[in-house]
Structure 1
């Protein structure tokens, strides 16, 4: 929908009474407000002002007047209907960009960041992405109580939440291609079909919103927290990425199958993986997932069949050249997808620009290799904690050159506070293990 007259006609035909402008804070949490459809034309022309001082990572009180300008190409009518006292009605959502009080592009806008990173490197190639979103379904939002004992591809309960979510998403133009019960109890996965990287980041935000809403209709709670239960697998969000130029997937090579660009992109991610990690695994809790034994990557290796690798290249299938891609396996669904994809793409592009060559692929679980074997193969590790990761992030020239100064500063400030607060907190583990014996 892009023509105003056509938009208003669609609104009338579908009984849309409200539009919700959607954006995220610096941590990737979905925020919105609501305007009546009668105000939408004015919002397209002039934007809609809001107070940014209460939004994490946005403006200070003295510079809090911000304006949301809708990106009309993202306008989507939500597929469900609300039953009012007298009338039923529907609403639409729209993403957009943030501007400051002087009408300049706001440096704290992470959606704008991803758009600019893509634009900056488009002469090399434009990224397309897919995403696998894992989540838990618990019986409430206070305590992670399991709702089933299912396992990988074993049905478990509440598969209909996945189906209902996909019906809603597909009706919104968000194509899904797969769903199943995941390895852990109460854990599920929905995969999104690849599309342009910016649109995929938007779709990730909306998918989490839709899944949570459907779960609530069942009286349950869908959690995208990375590791809500310590003894089972955590939630990942594998990002599948390919690079396109002049309508061709440049990750495919007729002769070698895997192109030089793909190999250098992988090398960039391996070389800069630890530097960008805090922007991909942004929570203290994220690192509880990245430990051996729970099907999550811990070492900076790549492979074709190795599902414990940091990067996997799915096997080439004849006739499916467009599907040649990499799968980056350390992201989790609690990240800000605009920041995460920006950093992943910047690291990969840096590898191409520097002509880097990746190490040999590893097709075994590195966790079972000895330290001497890992040293011989020059295998590096992902950071084991947010504070360690944040130190590398803060000192990275790549990160500084990719993020705006505002996002760089505010993100680090926010994460340092998180680490400080966590270090002051007395955990259940400490009470259980120390209180009765010390």
Structure 2
């Protein structure tokens, strides 16, 4: 750790970095930031920087508001869009109590705890996200129709397209921040794009997603566009998901791989999927945390609405992708339920906790579904034992609230705040009177 401290101090001096931004996020996943000068770096590393935690969603109560930010020196990078002269650096932070203990309310702490519990069993957790988002010509305003930056579709090559220029700039910035990109392309919806980050350990990947969303928004603003990770911004077009490939390694060996097994999937891998399925309704409120999230899940267009798994089934909640028989590291599990607006620390924490529960308790994996689940009748789904995901945020919160696994994984403070925050969102949503209600009932009676 000391070497990382010294490396940051040297880099700040050599690159003429004048401002250092300390990044962290609240329980909902909103990025927070404060700036310090290079002269305060050593204090930040040794003692932490004090903040008022009572002003941050879910962090603490007013009478115990003092908290500390301690930057993680291994995450230091300069921000490319801020320029090279008198530049700006950033570090991800852990949130601590005044006595230096990890804050129970810190989402990064939640994921670190799950990773450490896995490490105690000799397991390393990895994730590889495919992040979708929309680009619009302007931001949202009441009464304004959103205008996408193009009318292209899936994998379309848009000549002189703004989306291509946009993706190139985003990828350049990400790689300058040591965030590696695997693929990028235009998605199904007009103005919709996808950029896939290369796999890394779960905590690093969650850090990278926060940085990714910031880069995307900054580049969009620089091109007079607006980027959104809203799960379903246009009801007639596909939503934005964050399909995530999950894997576990033990002693350098892929714990999900077994040569000669069906799909190359080991018993551990099958138990992990069984855990994801059995607890899916419980963690759905975390992986899909907004009222709008359920308009994506229940909007068809390949979004998963039912708790199923399959090999080549893109309507399933969990998919086992094609693996290369000669390459054991390629065996993995693709979770297709998460949307791009989740808090990545909490989402990864609950997904890995559910999968690990399946391994620990040796859950049996049910039969896979290779049919398009949307095309089955309700009776056929019932016969096959296929259960639906919650159909709205309220139903998701009902299951979440009764889940011992969620309370244990998130910790009491995050669990209780998340529940209160989301019930409040649902209440405010129900208080709205929509144009559809006027259309259907204004002249009734």
TM bucket, shorter chain: over 0.9
Name the residue aligned to 2:361.
354
Name the residue aligned to 1:165.
170
Alignment of 1:256-405 (within 5 A): 256=261, 257-405=264-412
Name the residue aligned to 2:89.
92
| Aligned with 1:236 (options 218, 241, 251) | 241
Name the residue aligned to 1:227.
232
Name the residue aligned to 1:45.
46
Distance 2:331 2:300 in 1: 28
Q: Report the CA distance between 1:72 and its aligned residue.
A: 1.0
Name the residue aligned to 2:208.
203
- Between 1:100-109 and 1:21-30, the stretch displaced more is 100-109
Q: Please give the per-residue CA displacement for 1:173-230, whole angstroms capped at 9, x wherever unaligned.
A: 1000100000011100000000000000000000000011011110000101111111
Distance 1:165 1:15 in 2: 23
Alignment of 1:37-186 (within 5 A): 37-82=38-83, 88-122=85-119, 123=121, 125-143=123-141, 144-156=146-158, 157-158=161-162, 159-186=164-191
Conservation of the 8 A alpha-carbon contact between 1:292 and 1:367: no
Please give the root-mean-square deviation of Cα atoms over the aligned residues, in Å. 1.5
Q: Report the CA distance between 1:362 and its aligned residue.
A: 1.2
Distance 2:81 2:98 in 1: 36
Distance 1:153 1:250 in 2: 33
Q: Which runs of 5+ in 2 are unaligned?
A: none
Q: Please give the per-residue CA displacement for 1:361-398, whole angstroms capped at 9, x wherever unaligned.
A: 21111111122221221111111100000000000111
Name the residue aligned to 1:412.
419
3-state DSSP class of the match of 1:253? coil
Distance 2:280 2:20 in 1: 39
Distance 2:306 2:165 in 1: 36
Q: Please give the per-residue CA displacement for 1:152-174, whole angstroms capped at 9, x wherever unaligned.
A: 01134321111110111011110
Q: Report the CA distance between 1:262 and its aligned residue.
A: 0.5
After TM superposition, the score normalised by the length of structure 1 is: 0.96
Distance 1:341 1:3 in 2: 26
Q: Report the CA distance between 1:79 and its aligned residue.
A: 2.0
After TM superposition, the score normalised by the length of structure 2 is: 0.95
Q: Please give the per-residue CA displacement for 1:264-321, whole angstroms capped at 9, x wherever unaligned.
A: 0000111110011101100011000011532100111111111111001111213221
Distance 2:410 2:10 in 1: 40
3-state DSSP class of the match of 1:283? coil
CA distance 1:5–1:266, change in 2 (3 Å) = closer
